[in-house]
Chains A and B, each alone.
Chain A
Amino acid sequence: AQSVAQPEDQVNVAEGNPLTVKCTYSVSGNPYLFWYVQYPNRGLQFLLKYITGDNLVKGSYGFEAEFNKSQTSFHLKKPSALVSDSALYFCAVRDDTNAGKSTFGDGTTLTVKP
């Protein structure tokens, strides 16, 4: 079985400050982990993924995520937030034995205030 949790429905940060959007997961095998962003009235956009290798993964728009196996976490981070980063963020996980089926978290709404 696989599951993912995003413990915060909403994250508010000031522009220029660092941001973190949290994600924890549970899988039976090895995890494939993803972050997606959804802007209003638009589809999901892929930000980054972790399959194997370095625990710090860099993705689009200056985002990065840190894979922590012991804490089963994959938090999304950005050193300096922009107002344009305001959107709905989804973490997703797939067990490497579960072909094609990704489980998505409930999403976290990020609001960056000027």
Chain B
Amino acid sequence: KAGVTQTPRYLIKTRGQQVTLSCSPISGHRSVSWYQQTPGQGLQFLFEYFSETQRNKGNFPGRFSGRQFSNSRSEMNVSTLELGDSALYLCASSLETGFGYTFGSGTRLTVV
């Protein structure tokens, strides 16, 4: 059974650029969440999608956005990148709310 797949694994971008990260959840999982992990802030919730609808959003600026497709695959987009956006971005999927999440290996974004 394939796990949660995140692409790409590594990204280097320049300040001001935009970036799109992709997440393919476990087959059958309808809930997809995104988290930002940094040494200083730990794991911070970005947003959660369920059946193509955003159900919850964390305290991040509007530059951070996401979407979920009908096959449950999800993308998150960060526009006008800042140095502080450098982080490990983790995607997690779950069958339903309340189940434990399965996390992907993450995308390491470096903004220079």
Contacts and interface: CB of A to CB of B under 8 A. Distances in A.
Contacts of A106: 42
Which secondary structure characterizes the binding site on chain B?
strand
Range class of the B interface residue count: 20 to 34
Interface stretch (B14-22, B75-83, B95-103): B95-103
Given A32-B98, A51-B98, A100-B48, A107 B55 contact: no
B103 to A, nearest CB: 4
A67 interface: no
Interface in B38-79: 42-43, 45, 48, 50, 55-56, 58
Interface stretch (A10-18, A37-45, A68-76, A78-86): A37-45
A34 B100 contact: yes
B24 interface: no
B38 to A, nearest CB: 11
Given A42-B105, A104-B42, A104-B43, A99 B97 contact: yes
Interface of A: 32, 34, 36, 42-46, 48-49, 51, 90, 94, 96, 98-107
